[in-house]
């Protein structure tokens, strides 16, 4: 869909649904260049949709992470996730180098070259475009002084056409579908021009390095490029060199001789590479390293955040002391209150309760009072009062002869 077609379809849609004055519709129309596919075709997205990248990485990390992890566990799980990603990448690299896809299209020479250049996943994408080329037919061909313009349409399907301008001197293809500008993959219209020009290899101008098997090789990076920022170029070179040094370190660590030779070579190369830098760059590099070391020393534990709710010791200190629900005195509960115990004993004594077929003897009453750890006793009026045992007043002899009233008629402390 062209921009003019988009405008026509937009006006038709808002008239059909009667939303000409809707504020949201007006706002979306003003932002059409940020979301409409028609206006985004000339922008490179690498085949990604708006949220595809974040959703895929979130889905992957959710297998390893959850919200109850502490910082130490979180870092361990992140390391496991990164190890899984690196392992998958190494497996894909191994399959790309050692496996060769079966050629199935009608353009065998172009398909074979694509299989040699692109990775497996990208090759499947390119092969779909080669297959789609069989559906196209050439409507017109205009040969100018320095370029040739081809017009295509699908065979016996619709009236939509595409124009491809090919410049032989520079080997540049420009298609009206702008698929290469958006995804970096040659479109079926470009393959149709290659077939018409009897080409057996995909031109270098239609091969994006990021989709090739040599995507990690940055040996040909141009430091004088004005497109990429110098800091980005430096990081790219650093990553490429780190990858190669990692392989070298692996093989050098296999033997003592290799380890010693690698140490000497690294020391010599370090001195040599350091000499290539200007004095100002060297000083700036040392300052950066020093600042990083100083900042790393200052790292401390994070401040503990205050939790919700009142402080625990404040909760303990607040409120009134717990009292008995029966007599109202503090220090015991209703279940251990002597008023409650005496009432139960009196009721059982008057009713003649039995335990396992035997009559409950008064001795149990005295034993209950003498074994109690409470500091209260029931007075003659039925009130709970503090007491102290006096040996002279405690019934002696055979307590089984004493009645419950005699057992509890001990002197209360005043």
Q: Which pair of tokens denotes residue 358?
A: 């035997």
> Cα(103)–Cα(111) distance, rounded to whole angstroms?
7
- Measured from the Cβ of residue 195, the count of other Cβ atoms closer than 10 Å reads 19
Tell how strand 354-355 and strand 358-359 pair up: antiparallel
Phi-psi region of 171 (alpha: psi -120 to 50; beta: other; left: phi over 0): left
The CA-atom distances, in angstroms, between 333 and each of 315, 339, 365 are: 21, 11, 20
What is the SS3 assignment for 219?
Answer: coil
- What confidence score (pLDDT) does residue 46 get? 74
Count H helices and E strands in the chain, helices first: 17, 8
- What confidence score (pLDDT) does residue 158 get? 78
Q: Global pTM? A: 0.54
Beta carbons of 114 and 207 less than 8 angstroms apart? no
- What confidence score (pLDDT) does residue 229 get? 65
- What confidence score (pLDDT) does residue 315 get? 52
- What confidence score (pLDDT) does residue 10 get? 92
Tokens 């004594």 found at: 349
- What confidence score (pLDDT) does residue 13 get? 92
Phi-psi region of 356 (alpha: psi -120 to 50; beta: other; left: phi over 0): left
Terminus-to-terminus CA distance in the chain, angstroms?
104
Full DSSP string of 322-350: PB-TTT--BTS-STT-HHHHHHHHHHHHH
- Measured from the Cβ of residue 400, the count of other Cβ atoms closer than 10 Å reads 10
Ranges of the chain whose pLDDT falls below 50: 223-227, 353-375, 387-414
> Cα(401)–Cα(399) distance, rounded to whole angstroms?
5
Beta carbons of 165 and 149 less than 8 angstroms apart? yes
- What confidence score (pLDDT) does residue 76 get? 92
> Cα(237)–Cα(241) distance, rounded to whole angstroms?
6
Tokens 């102290």 found at: 388
> Cα(9)–Cα(347) distance, rounded to whole angstroms?
95
Beta carbons of 180 and 45 less than 8 angstroms apart? no
């Amino acid at each position: 869909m062209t921009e003019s077609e988009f405008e026509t379809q937009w006006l038709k849609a808002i008239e059909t649904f009667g939303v000409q004055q809707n504020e949201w519709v007006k706002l979306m129309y003003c932002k059409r260049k940020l979301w409409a596919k028609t206006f985004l075709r000339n922008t490179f997205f690498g085949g990604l949709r708006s949220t595809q990248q974040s959703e895929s990485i979130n889905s992957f990390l959710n297998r390893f992470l959850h919200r109850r992890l502490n910082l130490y566990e979180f870092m361990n799980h992140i390391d496991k996730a990164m190890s899984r990603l690196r392992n998958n990448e190494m497996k894909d690299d191994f399959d790309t180098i050692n496996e060769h896809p079966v050629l199935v299209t009608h353009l065998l020479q172009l398909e074979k070259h694509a299989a040699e250049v692109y990775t497996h996943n990208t090759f499947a994408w390119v092969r779909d475009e080669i297959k789609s080329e069989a559906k196209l037919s050439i409507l017109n061909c205009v040969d100018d002084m320095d370029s040739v313009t081809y017009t295509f349409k699908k065979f016996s399907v619709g009236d939509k056409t595409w124009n491809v301008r090919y410049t032989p001197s520079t080997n540049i293809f420009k298609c009206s579908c702008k698929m290469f500008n958006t995804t970096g993959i040659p479109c079926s219209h470009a393959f149709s021009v290659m077939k018409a020009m009897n080409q057996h290899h995909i031109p270098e101008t239609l091969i994006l390095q990021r989709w090739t098997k040599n995507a990690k090789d940055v040996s040909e990076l141009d430091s004088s490029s004005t497109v990429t920022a110098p800091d980005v170029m430096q990081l790219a070179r650093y990553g490429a060199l780190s990858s190669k040094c990692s392989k070298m370190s692996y093989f050098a660590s296999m033997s003592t001789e290799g380890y010693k030779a690698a140490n000497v070579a690294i020391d010599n190369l370090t001195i040599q590479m350091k000499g290539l830098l200007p004095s100002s760059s060297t000083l700036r590099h040392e300052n950066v390293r020093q600042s990083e070391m100083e900042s790393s020393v200052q790292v401390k534990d994070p401040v503990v955040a205050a939790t919700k709710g009142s402080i625990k010791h404040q909760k303990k200190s607040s409120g009134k002391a717990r009292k008995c629900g029966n007599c109202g005195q503090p220090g015991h509960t209703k279940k251990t209150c002597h008023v409650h115990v005496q009432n139960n004993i009196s009721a059982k004594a008057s009713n003649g309760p039995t335990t396992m077929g035997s009559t409950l003897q008064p001795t149990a009453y005295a034993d209950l009072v003498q074994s109690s750890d409470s500091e209260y006793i029931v007075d003659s009026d039925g009130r709970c009062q503090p007491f102290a045992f006096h040996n002279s007043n405690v019934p002696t002899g055979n307590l089984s002869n004493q009645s419950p009233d005699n057992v509890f008629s001990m002197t209360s402390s005043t």
